[in-house]
Amino acid sequence: MRNIFITYLAVLLSSGLFIYVDKNYNFNTKSNNRKTVNTVVNNSTQESNPVAEEITETEAPVETNTVVLEPTVINQSQNQVLLNSSVEELSEVPGVVAEPEVYIVGMDETTHYDSPLDNTIHFSIDKEINSDSKVYLEYELYGLADYNSVCMSINDYTSQGGMVVCTNQEWTTQVQEIAPYQVQKGQNSIVLNLHESFQGQYKLRNFNVRVEKSKKQEQLVIRQNELRSYYGEYAYVSGFVNNYSKNVRIIANDIELDCYKGTFEGIIPVNSENEENTVLVEAYSGDELLESKTVSLENKFSYTYIQPVNREIDHVEILAEPNMDFSLELPGISLNAPAGFIENSVSISVTGLRSIDMPLPDVAMINVTGESDGFRCLPHGSVFNEDMEISVKYDTAAIPYGYGPEEIRTFYYDEVFEKWVMLPYDTVDIANNMIISKTNHFTDFINAILKTPELPTNEAFTPTSLKDLDYANPLAGINIMSPPVANNSGTANLSFPIQVPAGRQGMQPNLAITYNSDGGSGNCGVGWEFNIPSITVDTRWGVPRYSSELETE
């Protein structure tokens, strides 16, 4: 009888008898239409150039039960956009406006997920940008008051903006000046982000880059919006230094601001009772004063979010020689390579990153990086002759329940495919909380855990897993078939429960193979039955409607 039972059970499992249960857990994913914006800017020496836009809409094929998380590829031949310039010398410098038409940053109210695919702007520049040029980012903004509230990271630079957030539910035009050395000839990218503490969303569209020839170059440039605003007891100061040195420092009202490769930002306390506040900004090269400017703040505004603490950026840079062993350390990361891993001398740097300084991880990734949220190793694009050993620290407090250090891996960001890719794993140093891997190039690095999906799939349901079992209990996780007991019907009854994964909201069917000595021939043999519970609808009076206002059942 036992062999017959096992044979029947194997036949049932292989024939797909559980397909009813499996169907209840399928996902239906809606595919969004993609729009390609083709913009052509006519060059002229006039101050305003006419812009003609062509919008073509194509529907991406909808594939049932498939979630597409691949980056959008820009068709360069269809995006012919010239940098809008009022200067004759730069009238032939082109750029590119990339799709999607609207960039949406922040948590979606429906999916509760911020897709990283529409958080990065790609554009290209065909000619060198001179150091005496003025470069402006032009775009329309919705959800935030002005560009001071927008958190963006340009190419290899850390993020700026978003320390003070003021909301606005209207589309407004923004003109934001950036340092000319932040963009480069060839491909460029801007990562849009939000501070973790601010739970909001904003949109950006009609992005463009404008370059002008500067008659007189300013060494210290301070960005100010048109309203010259301050925010209660705080003022936000940001800008950049042209022709900066490595030891450049920025002091604002005796407070040193965050400064990274010539760009700076920070929060300065001011008197909220004054009708007008002033901030003295000074740029130093070591102890030598380069230039100073006084900023007048005339209009007081209320803020939705503010980060009043200025962060010190962890950064180290050394020169690597081809005939010498290489070693570099920063809190949370260490690099080691043998002599000959490079052919020529090169300056190598490592910077500790915040979550806003790098692209978002995938939804299934849990960032457990220690000391910083990630690390940026430069120069990008360099390929080594031999693999370098990279050790990245993990934060034990960030490891989710049910996981351990052995499941942590180091990931690097692939700029081409716009996704995080796992590095070749070497070992884990549990004593020092370090994951040791190998790499042959530089980019952004994080430690992360690929969290298994909490869904009714084979990957999410492992009956033989030791997780969540009671300690010192040899019968934990084992279903016991109880012997028959006396009853008033005089039958012998047995029941063997079958474990299945829970579905959405914990919904889980109660499945079991039962035996009744008075039962006839069932689908599992004489007396044996396998009943599948079901939810039925009587359609004799029509198909019911799923409406909260109309009862049809």
Digit-coded pLDDT (tens) for 321-362: 999 999 999 999 999 999 999 989 999 999 999 988 998 888
Higher pLDDT, 76 or 265: 265
- Specify if 545 maps to a domain: no
- Specify if 388 maps to a domain: yes
Phi (first) and psi of residue 406, to 5 degrees: -65, -20
Residue 30: name the closest of 1, 65, 4 by CA: 65
Residue 180: name the closest of 141, 154, 207 by CA: 154
CA 349 to chain centroid, in Å, comes to: 23
Residues 6 or more apart whose CB falls under 8 angstroms from that of 3 comprise: none
Residues 6 or more apart whose CB falls under 8 angstroms from that of 205 comprise: 101, 102, 103, 139, 140, 142, 171
pLDDT digits (tens, 9 = 90+) for 258-315: 888 899 999 999 988 887 889 999 999 988 999 999 988 888 888 888 887 767 788 8
Phi (first) and psi of residue 4, to 5 degrees: -65, -45
- Specify if 470 maps to a domain: no
Higher pLDDT, 113 or 220: 220
Write down the pLDDT at residue 535: 80
Domain that holds residue 376: 315-450
pTM reported for the whole predicted model: 0.63
324 and 202 fall within a common domain: no
Write down the pLDDT at residue 126: 85
- Specify if 537 maps to a domain: no
Q: Above 80 in pLDDT, residue 241?
A: yes
Buried b (16+ CB within 10 A) or exposed e, 368-391: bbbbbbbbbbbeeeeebeebbebb
Write down the pLDDT at residue 100: 60
According to DSSP, the β-strands at 333-337 and 326-330 are antiparallel
Higher pLDDT, 194 or 309: 194
Instruction: Kindly state the tokens that stand for 66.
Output: 């498939």
* Whole-number Å distance between alpha carbons of 162 and 191: 13
Give the number of residues written for the chain.
553
Query: For residues 407 and 449, is the Cβ–Cβ distance under 8 A?
Result: yes
Number of H helices, E strands in the chain: 2, 40
DSSP state of 14: H
**How many of the other CB atoms lie within 10 Å of CB of 447?**
28
Q: Above 70 in pLDDT, residue 7?
A: no
List Cα–Cα distances, 44 to 80, 125, 349, in angstroms. Answer: 16, 18, 42
Q: Above 60 in pLDDT, residue 515?
A: yes
Percent of the chain with pLDDT over 70: 75
Query: For residues 115 and 176, is the Cβ–Cβ distance under 8 A?
Result: no
Q: Above 90 in pLDDT, residue 445?
A: yes
Instruction: Kindly state the tokens that stand for 23.
Output: 């169907």
pLDDT digits (tens, 9 = 90+) for 351-386: 999 988 998 888 889 999 999 999 999 998 778 999
What's at 184, amino acid-wise?
Answer: Q
222 and 198 fall within a common domain: no
Exposed / middle / buried, residue 342 (Cβ in 10 Å: 0-12, 13-18, 19+): buried
Grade residue 53 by pLDDT with cuts at 50, 70 and 90.
very low
* Whole-number Å distance between alpha carbons of 431 and 323: 32
Q: Above 50 in pLDDT, residue 180?
A: yes
Q: What is the DSSP string of 230-253?
A: EBTTEEEEEEEETT--TTEEEEET
524 and 410 fall within a common domain: no
Residues 6 or more apart whose CB falls under 8 angstroms from that of 128 comprise: 185
- Specify if 171 maps to a domain: yes
- Specify if 230 maps to a domain: yes
Over residues 167-192, mean pLDDT: 93
* Most confident of the following: 27-36, 238-247, 450-459: 238-247
Phi (first) and psi of residue 269, to 5 degrees: -70, 140
* Whole-number Å distance between alpha carbons of 119 and 98: 12
Residues 6 or more apart whose CB falls under 8 angstroms from that of 76 comprise: 96, 124
Q: Above 80 in pLDDT, residue 113?
A: no
Q: Above 90 in pLDDT, residue 468?
A: no
Higher pLDDT, 147 or 520: 147
Name the least confident of 84-93, 121-130, 353-362, 453-462.
Answer: 84-93
Instruction: Kindly state the tokens that stand for 531.
Output: 């009943």
Select from 281, 313, 345 the last residue of a domain: 313
Q: What is the largest CA-CA distance in the chain?
A: 104
* Whole-number Å distance between alpha carbons of 528 and 523: 7
Write down the pLDDT at residue 105: 92
Over residues 57-74, mean pLDDT: 34
Select from 254, 280, 313 the last residue of a domain: 313
Over residues 103-116, mean pLDDT: 79
Higher pLDDT, 487 or 30: 487
Query: For residues 480 and 464, is the Cβ–Cβ distance under 8 A?
Result: no
Query: For residues 257 and 295, is the Cβ–Cβ distance under 8 A?
Result: no
Helix, strand, or coil (residue 19): helix
Over residues 146-162, mean pLDDT: 92
Over residues 427-440, mean pLDDT: 95
Q: Above 80 in pLDDT, residue 57?
A: no
Write a three-state SS string for 140-176: EEEEECCHHHCEEEECCCCCECCCEECEEEEEEEEEE
Name the least confident of 126-135, 138-147, 178-187, 440-449.
Answer: 126-135
46 and 177 fall within a common domain: yes
**What is the H or E stretch that residue 13 is in?**
helix 2-14
Write down the pLDDT at residue 172: 95
Q: Above 70 in pLDDT, residue 142?
A: yes
60 and 163 fall within a common domain: yes
329 and 370 fall within a common domain: yes
pLDDT digits (tens, 9 = 90+) for 476-510: 667 777 777 777 788 888 888 887 777 766 677 88
Helix, strand, or coil (residue 551): coil
CATH for 230: 2.60.40.10
387 and 250 fall within a common domain: no
92 and 179 fall within a common domain: yes
196 and 335 fall within a common domain: no
Write down the pLDDT at residue 371: 93
307 and 326 fall within a common domain: no
**Mean pLDDT, the chain, as a whole number?**
77
Write down the pLDDT at residue 240: 95
According to DSSP, the β-strands at 229-230 and 299-300 are parallel
Write down the pLDDT at residue 85: 32
Name the least confident of 49-58, 136-145, 425-434.
Answer: 49-58
CA dihedral 355, 356, 362, 363 (to 10 degrees): 80
**How many of the other CB atoms lie within 10 Å of CB of 286?**
10
304 and 351 fall within a common domain: no
- Specify if 246 maps to a domain: yes
* Whole-number Å distance between alpha carbons of 106 and 29: 20
- Specify if 117 maps to a domain: yes
Domain total in the chain: 4
Write down the pLDDT at residue 213: 85
61 and 179 fall within a common domain: yes
Higher pLDDT, 534 or 102: 102
Instruction: Using only the alpha carbons of the chain, give its radius of gyration.
Output: 31
Helix, strand, or coil (residue 84): coil
Grade residue 148 by pLDDT with cuts at 50, 70 and 90.
very high
